[in-house]
Amino acid sequence: MIYRIFLTFLLALTFGFANAQVIAIKAGKVVDPSNGTVTYNQVILVENGRIKDIGADISIPQDAETIDLSRSTVMPGLIDAHTHICATISIFADRLGVDFLDLVLLNPDGYRAIQGAVHAKQMLEAGFTAIREAGNSGKYVDVDVKRAINEGLIPGPTIITAGRIIVPFGGQFRTKADKQFITNNEYFFADTRDEILKAIRENIFYGVDVIKIVVDSKKYKYSAEDMAFIVDEARKSGLKVMAHCQTVDGVYSAVMGGAASVEHGWTILDSIITLMKQKNIVLVSTDFPVKVLQAYGSKEENAKTAHNKMIERLKRVYDGGVTIAFGTDIMVDIENETRGATAISYIDSFVEAGIPAADILKIMTTNAAALLGINKSRGSISKGMYCDIIATDENPLENIQTLKNVTFVMKNGVVYKNGKR
């Protein structure tokens, strides 16, 4: 015990001295996604990982390390509010005649931790300085990856973890495998209030940051009363609830029960859109590009049909004034493409839906930061915030596609990428 305290003290001293030097960033343009404004020729002073000051007339200390981004546009780091870095679904699942989740679960937790480390690095290098890991991560592998990142063992974004997903019996399995197989660490099967309560508390005990519920993957679903019970219990420990919903009934239960966010929401009635706006419930829309749907195993024609339905629904939700947060739900690796590059390609779905660039950027930063509960410390470039910033050659308010080529990434005041890809 004494050894661990001593080691922690040494690490604190080491990292403290390493971050003590002031960094001065010369930014040609600085975008504020919360209001879509741009300021010019700003100096950002960074000390101990946080923004010490920002302005056009800031004096740069003589001993400061200077980073020249005077020809770039600087903005807060991007956020993916629904991803699965510790899981990869094989495109051969359907060909092998097995449930797509079977091939995920056949990978042991150690291997999935390595997957998580690789994908975390790829997400960070693409400009995502924070993510919300939405489960499907074995026995709290996401919590372990988060710890490794926080301790400086591996590079990666700030992670909000969901741990084990809480579901009615059977979870998201489609095949009728033996109970011994499906009763595993991937899910909590919770049908009674006592089972639900135990699942929530066990997740909290093991260090999760959000409670993930699958509302309606089976004919039997969690009711609005069930969801209200879940939300209330999570709230007692300061946690929000993210609710996976695919059906009209599922979305209704999540909305009436007070979930912080509806995940996916493939089928949303206009009346429910009105309720979501009134109750300030966020949609994490996960609007798959055609290539991602194909990577999951859909034929091109079916993928295009499904994608178009998503875009139609996204447009209705946006026009209805519901707050939207960016999320990808990626559990597949596309050949010759990093997980981060795949994630950033989802901006095309928002463009197809006719959403202006300023709002797309807000969806990927300000809205997502508020949903994740990190907006008091991250998600904007202002004094006292952690310095999570990215840079691009062009202004994304004028050309949103420039986000596909992030040239600079800094998280907690540490540079992880500096130069063109």
pLDDT tens-digit series, residues 218-248 = 889 999 999 999 999 999 999 999 999 999 9
Query: Within 10 Å of residue 127's Cβ, how many Cβ atoms?
Result: 28
Does position 284 have pLDDT exceeding 80, yes or no?
Answer: yes
Alpha helices (H) along 65-206 = 93-96, 100-105, 109-125, 141-150, 179-182, 193-205
**pLDDT at residue number 297:** 82
**pLDDT at residue number 420:** 55
Report helix angle 141-150 to 109-125, nearest 10: 50
- Could you tell me the pLDDT band of residue 171, with boundaries at 50, 70 and 90? confident
- Rounded CA-CA distance 369/388 in Å is 12
Residues 294/272, Cβ–Cβ less than 8 Å: no
Q: Is the pTM of this model over 0.95?
A: no
Provide mean pLDDT across the span 294-309: 93
* 78-372 has the same fold as 2-76+382-418: no
Mean pLDDT of the chain: 91
**pLDDT at residue number 9:** 44
For 53, counting Cβ atoms within 10 Å of its Cβ (0-12 exposed, 13-18 middle, 19+ buried), the class is middle
Q: What is the pLDDT of residues 193-202, one digit of tens each?
A: 999 999 999 9
| DSSP code of residue 23 | E
Q: Which of 116-120, 171-175, 187-191, 366-370 has the lowest mean pLDDT?
A: 171-175
Residues in Cβ contact with 382 at an 8 Å cutoff, skipping those fewer than 6 apart: 51, 54
Q: What is the pLDDT of residues 86-123, one digit of tens each?
A: 998 865 444 544 455 555 666 789 999 999 999 999 99
Lay out the sheet containing 282-284: strands in order across.
187-189, 165-167, 210-214, 240-245, 261-264, 282-284, 324-325
The CA-CA-CA angle for residues 93, 289, 345, to 5°, reads 115
Q: Which helix (H) or strand (E) holds 308?
A: helix 300-319
Does position 16 have pLDDT exceeding 60, yes or no?
Answer: no
Does position 130 have pLDDT exceeding 60, yes or no?
Answer: yes
- Rounded CA-CA distance 226/231 in Å is 9
CATH of segment(s) 78-372: 3.20.20.140
Q: In degrees rounded to 5, what are phi and psi of residue 99?
A: -60, 140
Residue 419 Ramachandran class (φ > 0 left, ψ -120 to 50 alpha, else beta): left
Residue-range domain boundaries for the chain: 2-76+382-418, 78-372
- Could you tell me the pLDDT band of residue 185, with boundaries at 50, 70 and 90? confident
- Which fold is adopted by the domain 2-76+382-418? Urease, subunit C; domain 1 (2.30.40)
Provide mean pLDDT across the span 256-265: 98
Q: Find the radius of gyration of the CA atoms of the chain.
A: 21
Looking at the chain, the whole-number percentage of residues with pLDDT higher than 70 is 88
**pLDDT at residue number 90:** 62
**pLDDT at residue number 381:** 97
Helix-, strand-, coil-residue percentages of the chain, each rounded to 5: 40, 25, 40
- Rounded CA-CA distance 58/387 in Å is 17
Does position 1 have pLDDT exceeding 80, yes or no?
Answer: no
